[in-house]
């Protein structure tokens, strides 16, 4: 039987500590009528932990979700962003924190930020768990970054490959398969 191994890049403790730091930085900006918009599906773990950290930092954000995709089943962005589920709340006059799992090409984050600003948000800041700075296709920087990530396809902590590995409590890389042999 073949199994895949996962090499850990960012462990649970490092992620938890960074979430607390990001939450304190967001709180220090004194947002008004804060709406956290989590970009599904990959950011769901990061968003949940960050929202709890925001609560511990003294904030009471409302939470919304948007589901966009430029990957679908692929491991490389198509370059085209689709809205699969839109935000339901009115964002007019509100400070919005857009939460995404990874900033790579920047297309998804730029698209979402422009969309929310066009709908009248007072401000739209972004928090990403991971950033791959050498991969930008559009000019955008995240306001809050968890970790700079090497140019590898990562899984875990909500991120997947073909809907696998989202449940992992860390961020890692799928390594080559190895052959497991049973004793005869």
61-72 mean pLDDT: 84
DSSP code, position 159: B
CB 46 within 8 A of CB 158: yes
**pLDDT score for 89:** 93
**Mean pLDDT, residues 57-67 taken together:** 97
Q: How far apart are the first and last CA of the chain?
A: 14
Report pLDDT digits (tens) over 12-61.
999 999 999 999 999 999 999 999 999 999 999 999 999 999 999 999 99
pLDDT tens string 78-94? 567 888 999 999 999 99
CA atoms within 13 A on the CB side of 31: 29
Residue 98 near residue 37, CB atoms below 8 Å: yes
Does residue 182 have a pLDDT over 60?
no
Distances (CA, A) of 33 to 24, 36, 79, 93, 117: 17, 10, 33, 8, 15
12-149: which CATH topology? Rossmann fold (3.40.50)
pLDDT for residue 184: 40
Give the per-residue pLDDT at 183. Answer: 45
Q: Find out whether 25 and 18 touch, Cβ atoms under 8 Å.
A: no
């Amino acid at each position: 039987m073949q199994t895949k191994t996962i090499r850990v890049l960012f462990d649970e403790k490092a992620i938890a500590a960074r979430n607390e730091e990001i939450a304190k930085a967001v709180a220090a900006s004194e947002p008004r009528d804060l709406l956290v918009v989590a970009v599904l599906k990959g950011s769901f773990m990061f968003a949940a932990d960050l929202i709890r950290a925001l609560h511990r930092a003294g904030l009471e954000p409302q939470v919304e979700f948007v589901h966009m995709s430029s990957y679908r089943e692929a491991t490389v962005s198509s370059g085209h962003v689709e809205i699969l589920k839109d935000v339901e709340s009115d964002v007019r006059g509100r400070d919005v924190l857009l939460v995404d799992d990874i900033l790579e090409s920047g297309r998804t984050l730029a698209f979402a930020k422009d969309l929310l600003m066009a709908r009248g948000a007072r401000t739209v800041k972004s928090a990403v768990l991971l950033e791959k700075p050498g991969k930008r296709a559009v000019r955008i920087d995240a306001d809050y970054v968890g970790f700079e990530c090497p140019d590898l396809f990562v899984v875990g902590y909500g991120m997947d490959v073909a809907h696998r590995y989202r449940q992992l409590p860390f961020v890692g890389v799928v390594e080559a398969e190895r052959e497991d042999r049973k004793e005869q």
